[in-house]
Chain A
């Protein structure tokens, strides 16, 4: 939802970044305020996923210019675990499997590291167990998943639900969903999107990265940005997604060039 004069959560200015010496982001600008849902669309290779990893601080990517201000704080200077603890959450496109580590333990350690950062007392195993069971409802997950190893043997849909469960526990200020819809059937998509919508409120913000318009039927954005060659070339209201679906990306490209 768009709220008048709400707090700026994320402000990205002239962001340039490279991986292995190849420049991927070439001057990206974006401002996200509390309560808002932004969608970032664009063809493969346009830099969408890179942008999400740069925000989260993946060590393979080097920021060469520009700034990322998150709640008044310069993100570039702080390591990924600190970014996460301050409220930046990335739902991975391909969540990793961690054999032998129980999902419940993993969730508790993650949750407590955020609590500690906020100056709150860590929850013990019993209290945490209660809390996590409430959160399971949000993504309609079975409690049996808690005792299994993190993502091990999970289906694509189960992995994505597990990501949203982590989001529900960590209550981020800014959640970035990286191609969360990829590989999901319609039922899984609905429950994942349903979970995300329940978690979205006027004090947090959502950055939805997707190739297809399909997900945006369920998570309705306030703004849509189209990325091309490492920058945002067009921004507009949610209706832009439909137009893209109908006319493809070429049209935006031409439009953008004319605009320049």
Chain B
């Protein structure tokens, strides 16, 4: 390795603080009693407990996947705390009743929840460890018939919708981590957009892990009825701990005829230190079902955090002419490992999908794209375009691409393009010779590299993502 391309210290993780708050925490470990306890604590109806137990029994028979291109010591599932919630006075009716410590925490994270300061055009559901602590703009949205609330609330207020859609896209036994989530999930967000309604503001969930030994298992369910549309944003941070925390979430999206869902994530979980100590294991199942004709589901993700990322936001294109999109920037630095990509499963006629994946690897990190494009026998005239670009920074990082293509009918069209580039000494010298600093050079190069994806993010998020990438890479090359 050349003299000056070397990994320097990262910008310190600025969300690494811990909030001191009394928590209601159950003992470590997992068994049927723990699941009954979680369900009881949440005062759930019987169908929920059945759902959980069914998932748990399946999970017991399943094995952790070994095919991802990542390495980590075996996880002791009996050493995890499966439920931890900040102690609050009974049920809060308004934000004024939420513990000020929690409001402060979110304010510090840049997510003001109080009435005066809240983001003007985004409704937020704030999730702290296992529970939702506040949801903004709920009443205003209710006027349009839009339901935006915590999952726990939805179970009580809208059991018929939960019964109908929970597990309909990601079945309880879909995979090891999804089954675990179904058994123990504690909260999450629920969104329901009624027929022919365009959601007037962006909806957003902000996830915060606070407790050191707890896992976070949340579930998001979004249902977009015929002719409706919604844009959803998700953000995540966690404190810095020397140990690893497990985050196993499930997201299910359902789009009916002519409905459109845009789901964007900026993931900035704590990634561990530069030697790979600590950080979140982000093992997440995200799937969208384009059930209706002409429906559209679009995933945009900017993945910068987590010690390990295992995540494949997917689209199942059942409705004729439905559209699936996946735009991704995955950045790994230091010892981070990411195995991420998408699945586009074409079932209906003339379904279309686009995959744009940008992987950036710095430090000694490992960044893999894994994607499946499947053209079913009945997916006549279906089309896919995939583009997977990798960029290496320095010469100790790794980039891999694992594309899987399965075509079962001869009228389908699949295109795949891939490229690899590198930011090294010569690139930086070129910029330097024009008076541009190494930091600016990397930031410009990365922004350029990610432009196709950033263009798909909502404005506020795009700016945030751009800034986040520059921060993460600050001092990567010096």
A contact set with B: CB distance below 8 Å:
56-60, 79-81, 84-85, 89-90, 92, 95-96, 98-101, 105-106, 109-110, 113-114, 117, 149, 166, 170
Alpha-carbon gap, A79 to B429, bound state (A): 10
Q: State whether the Cβ of B25 lies closer than 8 Å to any Cβ in chain A.
A: no
A170 and B2 contact, CB distance less than 8 A: no
Q: Knowing A99-B421, A99-B448, A106-B444 touch, does A80 contact B426 (C-beta < 8 A)?
A: no
A80 and B433 contact, CB distance less than 8 A: yes
B448 and A84 contact, CB distance less than 8 A: no
A80 and B448 contact, CB distance less than 8 A: no
Alpha-carbon gap, A59 to B4, bound state (A): 7
Which listed residue, B2, B435, B438, B448, touches A110 by the CB 8 Å rule?
B435
Q: State whether the Cβ of B451 lies closer than 8 Å to any Cβ in chain A.
A: yes
Q: State whether the Cβ of B274 lies closer than 8 Å to any Cβ in chain A.
A: no
Alpha-carbon gap, A149 to B436, bound state (A): 17
Nearest opposing residue in chain B for A82, CB measure = B435
Alpha-carbon gap, A86 to B137, bound state (A): 54
A59 and B444 contact, CB distance less than 8 A: no
Alpha-carbon gap, A113 to B425, bound state (A): 20
B435 and A117 contact, CB distance less than 8 A: yes
- Residues of chain A contacted by B430 (CB below 8 angstroms): 92, 95-96, 98
A98-B427, A100-B445 given; 5 more Cβ-contact pairs under 8 Å: A80-B429, A99-B421, A100-B449, A101-B447, A109-B436
B445 and A57 contact, CB distance less than 8 A: no
A98 and B448 contact, CB distance less than 8 A: yes
A101 and B433 contact, CB distance less than 8 A: no
Cβ distance B430 to chain A, nearest Cβ, rounded Å = 5
19 of the cross-chain contacts (CB-CB < 8 Å) are A56-B433, A59-B4, A60-B2, A80-B432, A81-B436, A89-B433, A96-B430, A98-B427, A98-B448, A99-B448, A99-B449, A100-B447, A101-B445, A101-B447, A106-B444, A109-B440, A109-B444, A110-B434, A149-B448
Cβ distance B333 to chain A, nearest Cβ, rounded Å = 20
Q: State whether the Cβ of B3 lies closer than 8 Å to any Cβ in chain A.
A: yes
A170 and B451 contact, CB distance less than 8 A: no
B444 and A101 contact, CB distance less than 8 A: yes
Which listed residue, B435, B437, B445, touches A98 by the CB 8 Å rule?
B445
Residue with the highest number of chain A CB atoms closer than 10 Å, among B425, B429, B436, B451: B429
- Residues of chain A contacted by B450 (CB below 8 angstroms): 100
Cβ distance B63 to chain A, nearest Cβ, rounded Å = 42
Alpha-carbon gap, A166 to B434, bound state (A): 8
- Residues of chain B contacted by A105 (CB below 8 angstroms): 444
Cβ distance A81 to chain B, nearest Cβ, rounded Å = 4
In chain B, positions 402-439 with a C-beta closer than 8 Å to chain A are: 421, 425-427, 429-438
Give the interface size class of chain B: 20 to 34
Alpha-carbon gap, A81 to B4, bound state (A): 14
Q: Knowing A60-B2, A96-B426, A99-B421 touch, does A81 contact B448 (C-beta < 8 A)?
A: no
The 5 closest A-B pairs by CB, nearest first: A100-B448, A113-B435, A110-B434, A101-B448, A80-B432
Alpha-carbon gap, A117 to B434, bound state (A): 12
- Residues of chain A contacted by B437 (CB below 8 angstroms): 81, 113
B435 and A81 contact, CB distance less than 8 A: yes
B447-470: CB near A (< 8 Å → 1, else 0) gives 111111000000000000000000
B contact set with A: CB distance below 8 Å:
2-4, 421, 425-427, 429-438, 440, 444-445, 447-452
Alpha-carbon gap, A105 to B298, bound state (A): 30
- Residues of chain B contacted by A149 (CB below 8 angstroms): 448
B425 and A59 contact, CB distance less than 8 A: yes
- Residues of chain B contacted by A85 (CB below 8 angstroms): 435
- Residues of chain A contacted by B436 (CB below 8 angstroms): 81, 109-110, 113
- Residues of chain A contacted by B448 (CB below 8 angstroms): 98-101, 149
A90 and B433 contact, CB distance less than 8 A: yes
Cβ distance B331 to chain A, nearest Cβ, rounded Å = 15
Alpha-carbon gap, A56 to B432, bound state (A): 9
Residue with the highest number of chain B CB atoms closer than 10 Å, among A57, A60, A80, A110: A80
Nearest opposing residue in chain B for A95, CB measure = B430
A84 and B433 contact, CB distance less than 8 A: yes
B425 and A60 contact, CB distance less than 8 A: yes
- Residues of chain B contacted by A92 (CB below 8 angstroms): 430, 433
Residue with the highest number of chain A CB atoms closer than 10 Å, among B3, B429, B434, B438: B434
Alpha-carbon gap, A105 to B448, bound state (A): 11
Cβ distance A208 to chain B, nearest Cβ, rounded Å = 17
Nearest opposing residue in chain B for A85, CB measure = B435
- Residues of chain A contacted by B438 (CB below 8 angstroms): 81
Which listed residue, B3, B421, B445, B449, touches A59 by the CB 8 Å rule?
B3
Cβ distance A99 to chain B, nearest Cβ, rounded Å = 6
- Residues of chain A contacted by B4 (CB below 8 angstroms): 59
Q: Knowing A100-B449, A100-B451, A149-B448 touch, does A57 contact B432 (C-beta < 8 A)?
A: yes
Alpha-carbon gap, A106 to B2, bound state (A): 26
B432 and A79 contact, CB distance less than 8 A: yes
- Residues of chain B contacted by A90 (CB below 8 angstroms): 433
Nearest opposing residue in chain B for A101, CB measure = B448
- Residues of chain B contacted by A81 (CB below 8 angstroms): 431-433, 435-438
- Residues of chain B contacted by A114 (CB below 8 angstroms): 435
Cβ distance A106 to chain B, nearest Cβ, rounded Å = 7
Nearest opposing residue in chain B for A62, CB measure = B3
- Residues of chain B contacted by A170 (CB below 8 angstroms): 434-435
Alpha-carbon gap, A94 to B259, bound state (A): 50
Nearest opposing residue in chain A for B428, CB measure = A59
Cβ distance A68 to chain B, nearest Cβ, rounded Å = 15
Alpha-carbon gap, A95 to B430, bound state (A): 8
Cβ distance B265 to chain A, nearest Cβ, rounded Å = 22
Alpha-carbon gap, A92 to B433, bound state (A): 10
Residue with the highest number of chain B CB atoms closer than 10 Å, among A56, A60, A114: A60
Cβ distance B388 to chain A, nearest Cβ, rounded Å = 14
- Residues of chain A contacted by B434 (CB below 8 angstroms): 84, 106, 109-110, 113, 166, 170
